[in-house]
Amino acid sequence: MKRSRPRFPEKLSMPRRRFVQGLATGGALLGASRSLALVEPTLRSSAAILSGTEFDLIVAETPVNFTGKSRIATTVNGSIPAPTLHWQEGDTVTIHVTNHLREMTSIHWHGLILPFNMDGVPGISFKGIAPGETFTYRFKVQQNGTYWYHSHSGGQEMAGMYGAIIITPIGGESIQADVDLVVQLSDWTDERPMRAYDKLKTQSDYYNFTQPTLLELFRDATDNGLDSAIDKRRMWNEMRMNPTDLSDLSGHTLTFLMNGTTPAGNWSELFNPGERIRLRFINAASNTIYDVRIPNLQMAVVQTDGIDVEPVTVDEFRFGSGETYDVIIEPNDDAYTIFAESIERSGFARGTLTSRPGLTAEVPGLSPSDWLDMTDMMGAVDHSTMPGMDHSSMPATDQHEMTTDHSEHSNALAVPSTQVRHASSEFGASTDMLVDTPRTNLNDPGVGLRNNGRRVLTLADLKTLGGAVDSRPPEREVELHLTGNMERYSWSIDGLEYGESTPIHFRHGERLRVILHNDTMMTHPMHLHGMWSELENDQGEFLVRKHTILVQPAQRISFLVTADALGRWAWHCHLLFHMEAGMFRQVIVS
């Protein structure tokens, strides 16, 4: 496949290996907290751990150096990550956030159930925090588990403004562990975030250096025959799509961080043999989906997005920006590498757990970079007729929010609908692909993880302890399509970018089903603010309660929502640039 190389004149002056792995001593200086006590040592974090009910957080610019180049980051109390906040369920917390930047800022409390005017999204739940001003957040902590916070203003989250929140349950932890560690993954670029975004708007594959090559054509020809190999390339060319477009950014601009430390820096933590260790994984990356494993050590997943689940033992799990997974490990007297590679396989974050100082573990090589296959592109279709898509028989509606109301016939909504209804707004310049035969399976780990010889977590494996909180069946069904156009680098919902859309309305107290139908070839971590998303399978059986759900290419998933939170809420893809480009909606509960 012939692809143009980047048209921008500047070149990366740093060797790629050094850029991806960073400096051994790079990072930001740890800022001191004000009038806050350090938490008891049962919880460990690389950032300052602050406890209590009243906090002062200072947002400011801080010099950093992750790659050999001095840059300015956006930090909270002078550190990357920001301080870890340790709260107690049932307390009322007060957080004074002071803005020392020259621009507006904000903090969003990701996954927390709170009044909408405390949610921290400028233009929706409040006006933002102006330079020199202090905004006070105050709310009751109504849940427990692993959460996080970050800026919801411009590219500040990408520039370092994120931190962990750990909430202890009333009555103490039900998950027993001897050691409790925060493992926060993120990504850093030396470029100004909006400069990187502008490059993608000009050339959407600017950072994709894993293009199909002539060598791969020869390999395909050897494995499957020349005609088959040529037909495969011709198909992708005719669709004007790239089978390696798994992520917008890559290790050619990103350095992948674990607890604010580069791969070369190797964040490390000591343990005693025989200890039961809880790792609280948080994906605070702006634009990276991570695949996490600890070679030679299995992980028991016990919580996701702050909610306890039936333990499931795995070798590896994938999680998108915004998600959290808590796992239990029981290591021997040895050293282990925590290895988190990016979905497009251009780099990794890593750290070491070791039983003795100086004892290290081997760092595995990156997994192969797989191509998307036709299941990722077209779902459960008979691919023998590809390329080409015929949408002439597909129903469409002029209403970009497609709603089916069965309030008097609840049995009609016992199972999620399978009839695909493309909104008429999808048939436009903002959409380059429509999926007519989506897949509804939740037992697929996703591209790059299939049949890799490891036990990989899937959504089908997750079961919330205690089941659904609300046992009512849905009264109606809302269908939304995740859409995009890679050539234009446009991301949208139902073919409408945020600025062209109207709010989605939920009736206060109603129980409804939401169907998200992915008409793109990328995986999207979709985050609904203020309310829980209760994932179900294609038979309408409740699985797991989450605040952020990964939706794979050509996949159709459904979840139930209890609209118990009055106000205005954000709903968006948590890949920062997808949100900035338009995959964002406002939800009004009234």
At 23 the pLDDT is 81
Backbone angles phi, psi at 239, to 5 degrees: -80, -10
- Crossing angle of helices 214-224 and 226-239, in 10° steps, is 130
Q: How far apart are the first and last CA of the chain?
A: 51
For residues 53 and 94, is the Cβ–Cβ distance under 8 A? Answer: yes
| Alpha carbon distance 430, 92 (integer Å) | 44
- CA atoms 93, 96, 99, 104: torsion sign: positive
At 212 the pLDDT is 53
Backbone φ/ψ region at 73: left (φ over 0), alpha (ψ -120 to 50), beta: beta
How far is residue 375 CA from its own chain's centroid? 22
At 486 the pLDDT is 86
For residues 148 and 182, is the Cβ–Cβ distance under 8 A? Answer: no
Nearest Cα residue to 515 out of 409, 420, 395: 420
At 370 the pLDDT is 82
Backbone φ/ψ region at 132: left (φ over 0), alpha (ψ -120 to 50), beta: left
Secondary structure of residue 217 in the 3-state scheme: helix
For residues 487 and 431, is the Cβ–Cβ distance under 8 A? Answer: no
Four-CA torsion 553, 557, 562, 563, nearest 10 degrees: 40
The 10 Å CB-count burial string (b at 16+, else e) for 525-542 is bbbbbbbbbbbbbeeeeb
For residues 533 and 572, is the Cβ–Cβ distance under 8 A? Answer: no
Q: What is the pLDDT along the chain (590 residues), one digit of tens a residue?
A: 333 333 333 333 445 555 567 888 777 654 433 333 333 336 888 899 999 999 999 999 999 999 999 999 999 999 999 999 999 999 999 999 999 999 999 999 999 999 999 999 999 999 999 999 999 999 999 999 999 999 999 999 999 999 999 999 999 999 999 999 999 999 999 999 999 999 999 988 888 766 554 455 445 556 666 665 455 555 545 455 566 678 899 999 999 999 999 999 999 999 999 999 999 999 999 999 999 999 999 999 999 999 999 999 999 999 999 999 999 999 999 999 999 999 999 999 999 999 999 899 999 999 988 877 767 766 554 433 333 344 544 556 655 566 766 555 457 799 999 999 999 999 988 898 899 999 999 999 999 999 999 999 999 999 999 999 999 999 999 999 999 998 899 999 999 999 999 999 999 999 999 999 999 999 999 999 999 999 999 999 999 999 999 999 999 999 999 999 999 999 999 999 999 999 999 999 99
Tokens of residue 570, six digits: 């954000």
Backbone angles phi, psi at 439, to 5 degrees: -95, 145
Domains of the chain: 16-175 (2.60.40.420), 394-446+458-589 (2.60.40.420)
At 236 the pLDDT is 46
At 189 the pLDDT is 97
For residues 23 and 65, is the Cβ–Cβ distance under 8 A? Answer: yes
| DSSP bridge pairs for 402 | 479
The 10 Å CB-count burial string (b at 16+, else e) for 317-348 is bbbbbbbbbbbbbebeeebbbbbbbbbbbbbb
At 38 the pLDDT is 36
Give strand ranges (E) for 467-566: 476-485, 490-493, 504-506, 511-518, 524-528, 533-536, 542-546, 548-551, 556-562
Residues near 19 by Cβ (< 8 Å), separated by ≥ 6?
12, 67, 251, 252, 253, 255
Asked, as a colleague might, if the bond just before 15 is cis with ω within 30 of 0, I would say no
Q: What angle do CA 3, 289, 61 make, to 5 degrees?
A: 100
Tokens of residue 309, six digits: 């689940």
At 275 the pLDDT is 95
Four-CA torsion 405, 406, 408, 413, nearest 10 degrees: -150
Secondary structure of residue 446 in the 3-state scheme: coil
Q: What is the DSSP string of 388-440?
A: ----TTS-EES-SSEEEE-TT-GGGGSS------EEGGGSSTT-S---SB-B-
CB atoms within 10 A of CB 509: 11
pTM: 0.89
| Alpha carbon distance 177, 463 (integer Å) | 21
Nearest Cα residue to 257 out of 445, 42, 39, 65: 65
Tokens of residue 177, six digits: 């562990």
Residues near 105 by Cβ (< 8 Å), separated by ≥ 6?
59, 74, 97, 99, 128, 129, 151, 153, 156, 161
Give strand ranges (E) for 52-192: 54-64, 71-76, 82-88, 92-99, 108-110, 134-140, 145-150, 162-168, 179-189
Nearest Cα residue to 50 out of 16, 79, 70, 12: 79
| Alpha carbon distance 384, 464 (integer Å) | 40
The 10 Å CB-count burial string (b at 16+, else e) for 257-281 is bbbbbbbbbbbbbebeeeeebbbbb
Residues near 305 by Cβ (< 8 Å), separated by ≥ 6?
111, 145, 323, 324, 545, 546, 547, 548
| Alpha carbon distance 119, 111 (integer Å) | 10
Secondary structure of residue 516 in the 3-state scheme: strand
